[in-house]
Amino acid sequence: MRRKILFLTFLTTVLLSTMSFAQSTVNTPAPRPAGQAASVGRATPSKKDNSPFSKDRLQRIDRVMQQYVDENRLAGAVALVLRDGRPVYERAFGWSDKEAGLRMSTDTIFRIASQTKAITSAAILSLVEQGKIVLTDPVSRFIPEFAKTTVAQGKDSAGAVVPAKRQITIKDLLTHTAGISYGTQPNVASLYEAKGLGPAAGNGWYTADKKEGICRTMERLASLPFIAQPGESWVYGYNTDILGCVVERAAGVPLDQFIRTQITDPLGMKDTQFYLPIRQRQRLAAVYASGSDGLITRAPEGSKGQGDYVNGPRQSFAGGAGLLSTAHDYARFLEMIRNGGALDGVRILSPRAVKLMTTNQIGNLAPEEGLGFGLGFQTTDRFGASGLAPVGAFGWGGAYGTVYSVDPEARLVMVLMIQLMPNRTDIGRVFPTLVYQALVEPEK
């Protein structure tokens, strides 16, 4: 009897230990693969636990990215792919500064140039939802100098300058249908250059070296002729920089403050800002330039190279091209958009506003068939118009080679950060294709 009691006691102990181990196994998350970051946002429940990505096919991204570095076509890059807010791929390649011997890391800071436009557009939509702006408002409500604008006709400087047929609206600026370029076209370049814009501002969009606020620069812009009538063409240019001034006038605070308090701080985007603190200088990737042979050299200082993002005057907050960020930070912003305007319990926009931003608002005015433009994002309206991206995907990029894409259907966010201007590589098209080829299990 004594041996029977001892045996039953031993068996009970073993069973309890096994149950305890099983429970701890269920509740303890598996360790992340090397180089993989924590969740960027709260994951939407997945339809199934198994990843739809092939691990072998994801490794193709490693090989291709490293090949670009080894062949001296890229100095370095950070690639990040989220599904349901969780990284399925995150890697850093090459160098953030080859000459200084600094390796690229996943928290390297990049000049994101026109990726700023989506954040400024979200700021505008936030003010629309606060009742401070109406999309059909004329821009002159906030910048009176835009009450009477002009348009240059013809292809050269001999063309006539005529009055605009109507006033430019907030929606015209959000969709890039205001007729406003960066002032580098032959028929207007000399006029823009004389006022410190166009050719005098690097590639047109650069204002980080200006010792004046963005509103002062945009007031001067209003005196120059634009290149198309409002609403008649899709013209890429200073539109979102003007919107940055509109934010300042409508909100009554500088653009950097509004973006910080209303978007980046609430989302935990701690490394997204217009100018870098000097103590973080080494975290900013160097800019390189593609030569005619496709090989890179270090870009010069100044507006067409490294820029004034550390030691500059810090006066101009360019809503169209001024921000610095990391892959992780920008992915949080995109995940908020993908998630209908909210992330981790913080709501930035309503789902209706997000749908408006990410739906084609320009009809067939886009320069490429099958693509459109919403209120800050390029949209894919036909499968095949943008590589393997499906209908409903949206994205854009920046002058330094950065690109991003959001695929609501597959619940994906893709961010590629490089610093290359001019960029003569095809990496911006290759990267999303490499991601999609690894997505081997179709959605049910």
Instruction: State the Cα–Cα distance between residues 53 and 62, nearest whole angstrom.
Output: 15
pLDDT tens for each residue of 14-58: 333 333 333 333 333 333 333 344 456 544 444 444 689 999 999
pLDDT tens for each residue of 355-378: 999 999 999 999 999 999 999 999
Strands (E), 64-149: 76-83, 86-97, 102-103, 110-111
Residue 388 belongs to some domain of the structure:
yes
Residue 237 belongs to some domain of the structure:
yes
Tokens standing for residue 247: 């934010």
Helix intervals (H) in 130-254: 170-175, 189-194, 214-221, 239-251
Q: Which amino acid is at 8?
A: L
Determine the 3-state secondary structure of 5 from DSSP: helix
Residue 104 belongs to some domain of the structure:
yes
Residue 293 belongs to some domain of the structure:
yes
**pLDDT exceeds cutoff 60 at 1:** no
Checking phi first, is residue 159 left (phi over 0); if not, alpha (psi -120 to 50) or beta?
Answer: beta
The pLDDT, as a whole number, for residue 442 is: 59
Instruction: State the Cα–Cα distance between residues 362 and 384, nearest whole angstrom.
Output: 19
Angle at 183 between CA 179 and CA 188, to 5 degrees: 95
**Residues 202 and 315 grouped into a single domain:** no
Read off the pLDDT band of 154 (50, 70, 90): confident
Query: What is the pLDDT averaged over residues 132-139?
Result: 98
Query: What is the pLDDT averaged over residues 268-294?
Result: 97
Read off the pLDDT band of 7 (50, 70, 90): very low
Residue 392 belongs to some domain of the structure:
yes
Q: Which CA distances in Å does 333 have to 265, 272, 300, 344?
A: 11, 10, 31, 12
Instruction: State the Cα–Cα distance between residues 73 and 85, nearest whole angstrom.
Output: 31
The pLDDT, as a whole number, for residue 157 is: 72
Read off the pLDDT band of 443 (50, 70, 90): low
Angle at 177 between CA 337 and CA 320, to 5 degrees: 55
Query: Using an 8 Å Cβ cutoff, are 413 and 428 in contact?
Result: no
Residue appearing with tokens 């002729």: 225
Helix intervals (H) in 285-325: none
The pLDDT, as a whole number, for residue 411 is: 97
**Residues 339 and 425 grouped into a single domain:** yes
**Residues 194 and 73 grouped into a single domain:** no
How many structural domains are present in the chain?
Answer: 2
The pLDDT, as a whole number, for residue 159 is: 80
Query: What is the pLDDT averaged over residues 133-141?
Result: 98
Question: Of 251, 278, 309, which marks where a domain is finished?
Answer: 251
Number of H helices, E strands in the chain: 12, 16
Read off the pLDDT band of 177 (50, 70, 90): very high
CB neighbours (10 Å) of residue 24?
A: 9
Read off the pLDDT band of 236 (50, 70, 90): very high
Report strand pairing: 378-380 vs 412-417.
unpaired
Residue 5 belongs to some domain of the structure:
no
Residue 2 belongs to some domain of the structure:
no
Instruction: State the Cα–Cα distance between residues 65 and 298, nearest whole angstrom.
Output: 19
In eight-state DSSP terms, residue 115 is G
Query: Using an 8 Å Cβ cutoff, are 354 and 336 in contact?
Result: no
**Residues 420 and 275 grouped into a single domain:** yes
Residue 260 belongs to some domain of the structure:
yes
Instruction: State the Cα–Cα distance between residues 106 and 37, nearest whole angstrom.
Output: 9
**Residues 208 and 105 grouped into a single domain:** no
CB neighbours (10 Å) of residue 381?
A: 18
CATH number at residue 309: 3.40.710.10
**Residues 290 and 427 grouped into a single domain:** yes
The pLDDT, as a whole number, for residue 62 is: 98
Tell me what the pLDDT averaged over the chain comes to: 90
The pLDDT, as a whole number, for residue 40 is: 62
**Residues 260 and 171 grouped into a single domain:** no
**Residues 295 and 405 grouped into a single domain:** yes
Instruction: State the Cα–Cα distance between residues 191 and 224, nearest whole angstrom.
Output: 7
Query: What is the pLDDT averaged over residues 111-125?
Result: 98
pLDDT tens for each residue of 11-26: 444 333 333 333 333 3
Query: What is the pLDDT averaged over residues 273-282?
Result: 96
**Residues 423 and 340 grouped into a single domain:** yes
Question: Of 224, 251, 278, which marks where a domain is finished?
Answer: 251
Query: What is the pLDDT averaged over residues 392-415?
Result: 98
Q: Cα 438 to the chain's mean position, in Å?
A: 23
Question: Of 202, 220, 251, which marks where a domain is finished?
Answer: 251
Query: Using an 8 Å Cβ cutoff, are 108 and 80 in contact?
Result: no
Peptide bond into 422 cis (omega under 30): yes
- Identify the domain containing residue 112 by its residue range: 55-119+255-437
Instruction: State the Cα–Cα distance between residues 309 and 37, nearest whole angstrom.
Output: 27
**Residues 265 and 278 grouped into a single domain:** yes
**Residues 152 and 207 grouped into a single domain:** yes
Query: Using an 8 Å Cβ cutoff, are 330 and 122 in contact?
Result: no
Report strand pairing: 161-163 vs 288-290.
unpaired
The pLDDT, as a whole number, for residue 41 is: 56
Instruction: State the Cα–Cα distance between residues 244 and 226, nearest whole angstrom.
Output: 19
Tokens standing for residue 149: 């604008």
In eight-state DSSP terms, residue 406 is E
Query: What is the pLDDT averaged over residues 76-96?
Result: 98
In eight-state DSSP terms, residue 39 is P
**Residues 91 and 211 grouped into a single domain:** no
pLDDT above 90 coverage of the chain, percent: 86
pLDDT tens for each residue of 180-215: 999 999 999 999 999 999 999 999 999 999 999 999
